Amino acid sequence: MVGRPLSPLLVRPEPDEEGGVPQAPPVSGGCRVRLRDRSGLPVDVEWWMWPHISPEGPVAWAVFLAATSGADPGDFDRAVLDALLTESPMALHVFDTELRLVRFNTASPGMRDVRAEDAIGRPAREVAPTVVTDTVEHLLRHVLSTGEPVIDFVQPGYPPADPQGEHLFSLSAFRLRNRAGEPLGVASLAIDVTERYRYRSRLELLNDASMRIGTSLDLARTAEELAETAVGRVADAVSVDVLDSVYRGEAPEPGPVPAEVTFRRTAFRVIEASGLQPAYGIGEKAPTASRHRSPNAWPICGPA
């Protein structure tokens, strides 16, 4: 290579790649360039240059090349970005300053079957109207205007991929800026935490029930505690009916109860402002065919 130009050794970069001679010196240390080896194949090397100034002649340059060690940091940057937008299970959405969708993760469960051409450029409220509520939109605008990130904001909603099923999402958002520090938009990350919250709610209900139900041996009090614990968490209205004989203090007969049996209403609770009224008052008899009362009663009923 002595006396020959260096340009034939440089690999011409693709339009979207970095390569060739660096256009600006690195901030510190060397930079990475792509050359051709003796067989013509591209190879990445670390490139350092130092000027050699001599008072007797023109400026010369000392060039040092070394084989690269490890992957190009730029490759990692591109790999992370590609994975976030195409493979990550988290829902990533990037919005501009008008909260129009610019990029989104096509692999996120909530956006499956949503085509990019149908979503890109649309306002956030139009892409997921039941998730991006007034509260969420205000939150995103606050992040955009102040730069204060939001972490783990829990939001219920019906994602585009499951419009009939309510989900819970843990939402985090942060502002995006250009090199001049000016806001470019806001990015949001959402994780479906529905099952996590259901599991936690079940544990809380079981713990609460163990503490509140059965504080005494009084039948009516125990029924009240059961209704109070379950209403609003299991159902909007909870009634507790017991066998008439048990209500009167008699011991239940062993074995299945008869197909026709009389219950007595022992407790009743409803959520506030529901307007629901009981069909029977506390202590009133509620004759019913126990076999058809509810699936939960079938195990104690006699044969059909």
Give the tens place of pLDDT for each residue, 26-47. 444 467 778 877 787 888 777 7
Q: Whose CA is closest to 266, among 228, 216, 222?
A: 222
**Predicted local confidence at residue 261, as pLDDT:** 80
Q: What is the pLDDT of residue 3?
A: 66
Q: Helix count (H) and strand count (E) of the chain?
A: 7, 11
Q: Above pLDDT 70, what percent of the chain?
A: 80
Closest residue by Cα to residue 95 from 117, 118, 127, 129: 127
- On whether the pTM is more than 0.75, the answer is no
Question: Confidence class of residue 297 from pLDDT cuts 50, 70 and 90?
Answer: low
Task: Note whether 272 and 239 are within 8 A (CB).
Answer: no
* pLDDT reported for residue 304: 44
The CATH label, of 3.90.180.10, 3.30.450.20, 3.40.50.300, 3.90.1150.10, for the domain at 76-192 is 3.30.450.20
Residues paired with residue 82 on neighbouring β-strands, in sequence order: none
Statement: residue 180 has pLDDT above 80: yes
Using only C-alpha atoms, what is the Rg of the chain? Answer: 35
What is the spatial order of strands in the sheet that 31-36 belongs to?
31-36, 42-52, 60-67
Per-residue pLDDT at 23 exceeds 70 = no
Type of residue numbered 146: T
127 vs 55 pLDDT, higher one: 127
Out of 16-30, 171-185, 245-259, the most confident range is: 171-185
Within 8 A by CB and 6+ apart from 105, the residues are: 84, 85, 86, 88, 90, 91, 92, 93, 111
Token couple for 63: 């060039």
> pLDDT: is 207 or 45 the higher one?
207
As a whole number, the mean pLDDT across the chain is 79
More confident residue, 10 or 70: 10
Q: Which of 133, 135, 141, 126 is nearest to 186 (CA)?
A: 141
- Spatial CA neighbour of 188 closest among 134, 141, 130: 141
- Residue ranges, comma separated, of all CATH 3.30.450.20 domains in the chain are 76-192
pLDDT of 19 > 50? The answer is no
Query: Would you say residue 295 has pLDDT above 50?
Result: yes
- Answer yes or no: is pLDDT of 24 > 60: no
Alpha carbons 234 and 220: distance in angstroms, whole number: 20
Q: Kindly indicate the confidence band of residue 290, based on its pLDDT and cuts at 50, 70 and 90.
A: very low
Q: Specify burial of residue 216 (Cβ count, 10 A radius: 0-12, 13-18, 19+).
A: exposed
- Biggest CA–CA distance in the chain, Å, is 119
Q: How far apart are CA 55 and CA 251, in angstroms?
A: 115
Looking at residue 185, what is its pLDDT? 94
Q: What is the average pLDDT across 67-85?
A: 72
pLDDT tens per residue across span 100-143: 999 888 777 667 667 777 788 889 888 888 888 889 999 999 99
pLDDT score of 16 more than 60: no
Predicted pLDDT of residue 286: 75
